[in-house]
Amino acid sequence: MVQLHSLDLQDLQNPLHPSTFEEYRDYRILVLRLPEQIGKTSKIHSYGFILADSSVYYYDRNVNDLIHFAAGLDDLYRFLDEKIDMLMDDIEIVQDKIVALEENLYRKFSSRFMERWHEMKKELSHSERIILKAADILERFITKSKFSEHFPINEFNDLHEHLERTLRSNVSANDQLDNLYSYYNLRSNDRMNRSIYTLTVISVIFLPLNLVVGFFGMNTGGLPFENHVMGTFYAFVTMILFAAFLTTAVLWKIRKE
């Protein structure tokens, strides 16, 4: 059994330790930190391995002990291949969710969009950094190990290519979210501009009417229709006609533009 330094053992026991690859005199330590799931219940997990001569051990935190891989590097490859394949499938699920979010946005403008957008953006940005680090460490591990006689170089290169592909898919999903955010902002600004434009039109129509009402409300003599029995009616009709004229003028201006 490999005798580990206490600090290395602490690294293996840490479920969120960053990806790393270190070489010592008696053994090498490989830690790959990967997202296990992306979404509302996303999880990040670090997988620790010890490589000594031709033996490979996986640190199982459930039993708090090293588990020997009987087939050595081949078992290590199969272990990581399964985890990366699950990650690739999870990224595809997230991409499908982004497509559904996009279709909903095109079909119906919803205020809940930003809530869902922030959730996915946070998870994808986090996972992108983690996968990028893991891909760099895996490449370093391959570079340091490829000259070993029994190292399965083709299998681990394939593993690294899958991880790189997962990273590209993650980046692509992030870009999709950025494009959706830009479109959402355009629609939000358009709605705001329409609201401001409507308020401006209303102000153009009713501010002069307020002036007319204020004019007839003055407590002075000599006002139009002051002594006429139908004065209030005439003043009301005057305001209605004035409002109709302004509305017609504004609508004509809108259609002209």
Task: Note whether 228 and 113 are same-domain residues.
Answer: no
Tell me how far CA of residue 191 lies from CA of 36, 179, 196, 198, in angstroms. Answer: 40, 19, 9, 11
Domain with 31, as residue range(s), is: 6-191
Task: Note whether 225 and 163 are same-domain residues.
Answer: no
**What pLDDT score was predicted for residue 196?**
81
Mean pLDDT of the chain: 85
Q: Does 1 reside within a domain?
A: no
Task: Note whether 207 and 171 are same-domain residues.
Answer: no
Q: What is the CATH number of the domain that holds 104?
A: 1.20.58.340
The pairing of beta strand 65-69 with beta strand 55-60: antiparallel
**What pLDDT score was predicted for residue 41?**
56
The pairing of beta strand 55-60 with beta strand 28-37: unpaired
The set of residues, in sequence order, having a beta carbon less than 8 Å from that of 196 and lying 6+ positions away, is none
Query: What strands, in cross-sheet order, belong to the sheet with 55-60?
Result: 20-23, 28-37, 43-52, 55-60, 65-69
**What pLDDT score was predicted for residue 32?**
95
Task: Note whether 182 and 226 are same-domain residues.
Answer: no
Lowest mean pLDDT among 40-44, 60-64, 69-73, 100-104: 40-44
Tell me the percentage of the chain whose pLDDT exceeds 70. 85
Task: Note whether 150 and 88 are same-domain residues.
Answer: yes
Q: How far apart (Å, rounded) are the C-alpha atoms in residues 161 and 211?
A: 74
pLDDT band at residue 170 using 50, 70 and 90 as cut-offs:
very high
Q: Does 220 reside within a domain?
A: yes
- The tally of domains found in the chain comes to 2
Task: Note whether 151 and 203 are same-domain residues.
Answer: no
Q: Which of 98-107, 132-141, 189-198, 202-211 has the highest mean pLDDT?
A: 132-141
Q: Is 29 strand, coil or helix?
A: strand
Asked if residue 68 lies in contact with residue 36, where contact means CB atoms within 8 angstroms, the answer is no
Q: How far apart (Å, rounded) are the C-alpha atoms in residues 58 and 68?
A: 6
**What pLDDT score was predicted for residue 139?**
96
Q: Does 166 reside within a domain?
A: yes
What would the two tokens of residue 4 be?
């580990």
Task: Note whether 216 and 180 are same-domain residues.
Answer: no
Q: How far apart (Å, rounded) are the C-alpha atoms in residues 36 and 146?
A: 27
Q: Report the b/e string of 188-222 with b at 16+ CB within 10 A.
A: eeeeeeeeeeeeebeeebeeeeeeeeeebeeeeee
* Neighbouring-strand partners of residue 23: 28
pLDDT band at residue 135 using 50, 70 and 90 as cut-offs:
very high
Tell me how far CA of residue 160 lies from CA of 20, 98, 139, in angstroms. Answer: 15, 26, 7
Q: Point out the domain boundary residue: 170, 191, 212.
A: 191
Q: Point out the domain boundary residue: 152, 176, 191.
A: 191
Q: Point out the domain boundary residue: 164, 191, 218.
A: 191
Judged on CB neighbours under 10 Å (0-12, 13-18, 19+), 90 is: buried
Q: Kindly tell me if the per-residue pLDDT of 62 is higher than 90.
A: no
Q: Kindly tell me if the per-residue pLDDT of 69 is higher than 70.
A: yes
Task: Note whether 65 and 172 are same-domain residues.
Answer: yes
